[in-house]
Amino acid sequence: MNTKLSNPVRNSDLAKLDSLVPLSKTRPVWLRVGRLIDGISDRPIADADVVFEAGQIRFVGANGKTPAQEDLSEGQSEPDAIFPNCTLLPCFIEAHSHAFLDGAPINSRERELYLKNSPQWMLSRARARWPKQLQCGIGAVRDAGDRDGVGLSLAAERKKYRNRLAATPLIDSPGAAIHRRGRYGAFMGEPIEDHASPANCVAARVAAGADRIKLLVSGIINFKVGQVTVPPQMPPEEVAELVRAAKSHGRQTFAHASGIAGVENSILGGVTTVEHGFFITEDQLAKMRDQQIGWVPTFAPVQLQIDRAAELGWDDQVVSNLKRIIESHQQMLRRAYAMRIKVIAGSDAGSCGVPHGIGLLEELRHMERAGMPPIAILRSATGISSAMLDFPEPIGQITPGFRARFIITQHDPLETVTNLQKEKTIIFDGAAIHSPNDMTTDGL
């Protein structure tokens, strides 16, 4: 291997990527990094070479396994740049976010007024967030539903760029979530009662353009009581019928479920993933492992209630409820990891105080605080998510044939995932995007 370089590029020269990365639209670009996290392996790869074009990764190798000439520009024998102190990892998949909502505000009046705006206005808010979400390293978003078609419109816009170079993250959407009339979720769903049968309800969502089917199986946590105080909205038979109908259309299902009964009905119904899952039990985790059901634990919206309790007006009793809920959620996350359950990172961005983009980076921090190892957390936000969630583009891995969408950072994310909140460079379909330290949450 030829390791002698005429113009070795130093770490501090990540800005060099500005001129280098656009070349990937016309020829392969060869990078060597000190460490590669490929999104699937359980350990990082040292001294890795990555060759990519704007549209796809061509070669990945380590420890002297150099690319074949057919993967390179004619005559190229050395990397275009070497970043020995940098880590390269896939762009993140945000598996639970509500694109129609601003996440950052926590004032309840402000949030109510927001919902009085037109869908067109919300759509323009959502479009305006894309650049900052990319700066956070978000390469794909699984929208978790709204009733006015904001997520569906974003997904439709993005579909025009399928298999082409894109300037925005991949997004898909379930459209309106399915809930029971009079029960939780009217602001993001439409009632099942609007249709003659569960199958008709699913068919209507698919006809409207839904990429997946979102079910509101339970209510939400009553923070004052510290529990989910109402029974589930959907019995297991109904969940199963909805899941069957979704499968007949080739659609996955994801179930908003907190409280033991809500989680149970979702598992019995055979959904693809359980969202939130607060109060989940170890027995339920075992069933999820056996049925290959994924879990998106969404710590962020509940942790936020603790972190900003004073602003939200919570008293000591409520804060102690919240802390108990988070502690048991942390414990279940550790169990889930030990049991090799498919844990998937999603922040519930858009919900009160959870900004888009930054919210996912915060979610990773909460998972780390729970005791999950950084490499596993990063897999949950990349390779596991991509393997479980059936995205229409090959994303979430640094593997030949996958899209060339990755993050390069000199702040080691395996030391702590909070390092991902520091400045970094995102490579996305032939563009290099730099993110600053301490991004603001404005507009997110």
CB of 317 to Zn ion, least distance (A): 26
CB of 215 to Zn ion, least distance (A): 12
Q: Which residues of 321-349 are buried (b: 16+ CB within 10 A; e: fewer)?
A: bbbebbeebbebbeebbeeebbbbbbbbb
Of 344-363, which residues contact Zn ion (CB under 5 A)? 348
Pair of tokens at residue 381: 């936000």
By C-beta, is 94 or 348 nearer to Zn ion? 348
Q: What DSSP string runs through 19-83? A: HHGGGGGTS-EEEEEEEE--SSSSS-EEEEEEEE-SS-EEEEEETT-PPPGGGS-TT--S-SEEE
Span from 158-166, 342-350, 411-419, 427-435 in contact with Zn ion (CB under 5 A):
342-350
d(CA 375, CA 44): 8
Span from 155-163, 216-224, 340-348, 380-388 in contact with Zn ion (CB under 5 A):
340-348
By C-beta, is 38 or 348 nearer to Zn ion? 348
Non-local (6+) Cβ contacts of 396 within 8 A are 39, 90, 91, 93, 139, 140, 382, 383, 385, 386, 387, 402
318 binds Zn ion, rule: CB under 5 A? no
CB of 96 to Zn ion, least distance (A): 6
**Which residues lie across from 213 on neighbouring strands?**
253
d(CA 405, CA 413): 17
By C-beta, is 102 or 348 nearer to Zn ion? 348
Of 79-138, which residues contact Zn ion (CB under 5 A)? none
Q: Are 219 and 257 in contact (CB under 8 A)?
A: no
By C-beta, is 35 or 276 nearer to Zn ion? 276
CB of 314 to Zn ion, least distance (A): 21
Total residues at interface with Zn ion (CB under 5 A):
2
By C-beta, is 17 or 246 nearer to Zn ion? 246
CB of 281 to Zn ion, least distance (A): 22
CB of 5 to Zn ion, least distance (A): 48
144 binds Zn ion, rule: CB under 5 A? yes
Cα dihedral angle (364, 288, 242, 380), rounded to 10 degrees?
20
Max CA-CA distance within the chain? 71
Span from 39-47, 144-152, 314-322, 332-340 in contact with Zn ion (CB under 5 A):
144-152
241 binds Zn ion, rule: CB under 5 A? no
d(CA 332, CA 266): 17
By C-beta, is 145 or 396 nearer to Zn ion? 145
By C-beta, is 89 or 95 nearer to Zn ion? 95
**Which residues lie across from 29 on neighbouring strands?**
52
By C-beta, is 61 or 297 nearer to Zn ion? 297
CB of 328 to Zn ion, least distance (A): 20
CB of 32 to Zn ion, least distance (A): 40
Q: Are 30 and 436 in contact (CB under 8 A)?
A: no
Pair of tokens at residue 117: 């705006």
Of 23-62, which residues contact Zn ion (CB under 5 A)? none
What residue ranges bind Zn ion (CB under 5 A)?
A: 144, 348
